[in-house]
């Protein structure tokens, strides 16, 4: 968090701290003033006691406005979204953590609603072909089931931590809960973005734009960004690349996306202190790319399934969108490029080939 954010009065913890200081000051000043009243000490004490009781009710009302009501709204919104009801928005209009979380939840709900509407529209356009309609309905059910499964985990986490936030008195724990809630919201936003991108590729809403570029340079750029001088690197990087330029003619942005997803996948699955190896070879007019990660192999019956939407191995941790390899397969298939995955003796290798140009 930036230093300017820590000093902002709009943060919940800053509001609470400021309120406690103001209340303490009011109590001290009110007690001093009560001793100056032209009444007996018992009457003055009674007046001050009444004032303190009213002050307590006032503080309780303010805390309800700042904390309890926003938490209740967030909890209700998270519960609706956990039940896949995106019809109502979370209307917290404040410039603090609750307001930002409310905005993120609303954006996520709107994106999901738009996605479902697009799926409905695509379904109606294909109603003339009964067999195609049946296939679409089957795929739609699979997508909704997968999406429901994927969304329930982060939404369940958001709901649990929202409820914990409401019952927690420790300010440090509250801050940690808020950070986890925001992190899970961002995870869902990434999921929706990837899903929309894949849907656009599958339906032909976007087209690939070809351009001539040096593939060796592109790979070096992507690998340098993802693998070199990274603080979480716990693997040995090896690579074999041509020492000259090799040109291809295809969509550079989409091929960068392919490399990015394959390298991230290898980085996520390489075993601690294992080898992650990039290879690029130019043979007979074809450029062969492969990325190998030393670690657990993939059961043979699951090799084809890894290219499907939302697929994760049962051994994988809860991370990623489950769409990266599906996007890779879609981009390479649109160009009719050969690609695949295979198990080696002590790891897994992903690969594809692309024609070269002069």
Distance CA 43, CA 175 (A): 44
Asked if residue 262 has pLDDT above 60, the reply is: yes
Element (H, E) at 21: helix 12-35
Beta strand 286-294 with 274-283: parallel, antiparallel or unpaired? Answer: antiparallel
**Residue 169's pLDDT band (boundaries 50, 70, 90)?**
confident
Q: Give residue 332's pLDDT.
A: 95
3-state helix, strand, coil in the chain (%, to 5): 60, 15, 25
* Mean per-residue pLDDT of the chain: 81
Rounded to whole angstroms, the Cα distance separating 25 from 1 reads 30
Across the range 135-163, mean pLDDT stands at 71
Mind listing the pLDDT tens digit for each residue in 318-348?
Answer: 455 678 899 999 999 999 999 999 999 999 9
Is 317 a residue whose pLDDT tops 60?
Answer: no
pLDDT of 241 reads 96
> What pLDDT sits at residue 4?
45
CB 357 within 8 A of CB 249: yes
CA distances from residue 98 to 69, 124, 159 in whole angstroms, order as listed: 10, 39, 14
Query: What is the rounded average pLDDT of the residues 244-262?
Result: 95
Q: pLDDT, tens digit, for every residue of 269-291?
A: 999 999 999 999 999 999 999 99
Structure tokens that stand for 246 in this block: 């090799």
pTM: 0.55
Q: Kindly state the tokens that stand for 290.
A: 């492969």
- Do residues 182 and 84 touch, judged by C-beta distance below 8 A? no
Name the pLDDT band for 144 (thresholds 50, 70, 90): low
**pLDDT for res 214:** 97
Amino acid 292: pLDDT: 97
Share of residues in the chain with pLDDT > 70 (%): 82
> What are 231-250's pLDDT values in tens digits?
777 899 999 999 999 999 99
Which has more confidence, 297 or 174?
Answer: 297
């Amino acid at each position: 968090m930036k230093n300017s954010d820590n000093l902002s009065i709009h943060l919940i913890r800053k509001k609470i701290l400021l309120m406690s200081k103001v209340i303490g000051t009011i109590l001290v000043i009110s007690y001093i003033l009560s001793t100056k009243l032209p009444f007996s000490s018992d009457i003055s004490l009674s007046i001050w006691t009444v004032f303190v009781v009213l002050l307590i009710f006032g503080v309780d009302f303010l805390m309800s406005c700042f904390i309890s009501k926003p938490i209740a709204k967030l909890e209700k919104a998270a519960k609706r979204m956990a039940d896949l009801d995106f019809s109502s928005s979370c209307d917290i209009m404040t410039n603090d953590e609750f307001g930002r979380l409310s905005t993120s939840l609303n954006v996520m709900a709107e994106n999901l609603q738009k996605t479902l509407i697009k799926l409905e529209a695509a379904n109606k356009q294909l109603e003339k072909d009964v067999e195609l309609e049946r296939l679409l309905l089957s795929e739609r059910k699979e997508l909704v089931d997968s999406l429901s499964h994927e969304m329930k985990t982060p939404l369940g986490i958001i709901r649990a931590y929202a409820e914990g936030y409401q019952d927690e008195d420790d300010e440090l724990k509250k801050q940690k809960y808020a950070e986890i809630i925001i992190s899970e919201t961002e995870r869902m936003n990434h999921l929706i973005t990837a899903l929309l991108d894949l849907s656009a590729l599958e339906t032909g809403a976007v087209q690939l734009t070809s351009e001539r570029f040096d593939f060796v340079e592109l790979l070096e750029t992507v690998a340098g960004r993802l693998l070199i001088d990274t603080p979480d690197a716990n693997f040995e990087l090896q690579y074999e690349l041509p020492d000259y330029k090799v040109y291809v003619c295809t969509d550079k942005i989409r091929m960068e996306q392919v490399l990015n997803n394959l390298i991230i996948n290898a980085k996520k699955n390489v075993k601690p202190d294992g080898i992650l190896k990039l290879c690029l070879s130019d043979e007979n007019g074809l450029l062969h790319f492969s990325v190998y990660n030393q670690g657990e192999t993939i059961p043979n019956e699951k090799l084809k399934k890894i290219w499907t939407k939302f697929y994760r191995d049962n051994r994988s941790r809860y991370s990623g969108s489950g769409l990266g390899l599906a996007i890779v397969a879609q981009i390479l298939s649109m160009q009719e490029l050969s690609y695949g995955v295979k198990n080696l003796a002590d790891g897994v290798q992903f690969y594809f080939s692309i024609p070269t140009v002069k």
